[in-house]
Structure 1
Amino acid sequence: MATFVKAQVASLSASIIDFLTTLVCTQVFHFWYLLGSVTGTTVGGIVNFTMGRNWVFDARERNVKLQIIKYILVWAGNLALTTAGVYLVTHYLHVNYILSKIIISCTVGTGYNFLMQKKFVFI
């Protein structure tokens, strides 16, 4: 249970960075909302990997190169799911892209990321 709570704290931290990056990219630099979302997801992914390896799963002793490769595979799935979800919810359901990103990120984060990191990346 402690690992799950730590993972949620790491995920929340990465999500805050993700959302701030997305907002800065779209609102300040006027990126297209999907490019802003991809940029935010990338930055958040780096934060999440670092926290997962060093704190959540305490996997510093394991092969970092293999972890990075596995994380990139999982992250690519996360990116695809998040980007597709944000696009579908925004474009077809006409929900604001920020709310779309919140809904999709929460769904993907709890239903995909935690399990893949625990059972595949940081073992």
Structure 2
Amino acid sequence: MLTYLKAQASSLIASATDFGVTIIAVNLFGLWYLAASITGTISGGVVNFYVNRKWVFQSQSKEVKWQVFRYILVWAGNLIIVTAGVLIFTHFFNLNYVLAKVLSAVLTGVSYNYIMQKQFIFSS
């Protein structure tokens, strides 16, 4: 249970990075919301990997490159799911891009991220 709670805290840190970068990219730099969302997801992914490896799963594996490779595979799935969700929620349901990203990120986090990270990336 403690690992799960730590994973949720890590997810909040990564999400704050993700959303901060996304909102700044749109509002300060005028980036298209979907490009900003992708940029934010990449930033949050980097933070999430580091925090999960060091603190959540306390991985001692010397095979960092394989963890990075597996993380990129899982994270690519996350990127596709979240980006598709943002596009669908904004284009078809006329939601604000931030709300669309929140909904997409929460649905993906609950149904995909934790399970894949625990079972596939940091299991060794």
Q: Deviations over 1:64-96 (max 9, x none)?
A: 000000000000000000000000011000011
TM-score norm. by structure 2 comes to 0.97
Match of 1:42 in 2: 42
Deviation at 1:60, TM superposition (A): 3.2
Q: Distance in 1 between matches of 2:109 and 2:91?
A: 21
Alignment RMSD: 0.7
Which contiguous aligned blocks of 4+ residues in structure 1 show a shift greater than 6 angstroms? none
Q: Which structure 1 segments of 5+ residues have no match?
A: none
Partner secondary structure for residue 60 of structure 1:
coil
1:93 aligns with 2:88: no
Residue by residue over 1:38-63, the C-alpha shift from the partner in whole angstroms, topping out at 9 and shown as x without a partner, is 00000000000001100101113341
User: 5+ residue gaps in structure 2?
Assistant: none
Which residue of 1 is the match for residue 116 of structure 2?
Answer: 116
SS at match of 2:92: helix
- 1:31 aligns with 31
Q: Name 1:106's counterpart in structure 2.
A: 106
TM (normalized to structure 1)?
Answer: 0.98
Which region of structure 1 is more displaced relative to structure 2, 56-65 or 16-25? 56-65
- State the percentage of identical aligned residues: 48
Structure 2 residue matching 1:94: 3-state secondary structure: coil
Structure 2 counterpart SS, 1:93: coil
Question: Tell me, what secondary structure is at the counterpart of 1:31?
Answer: coil
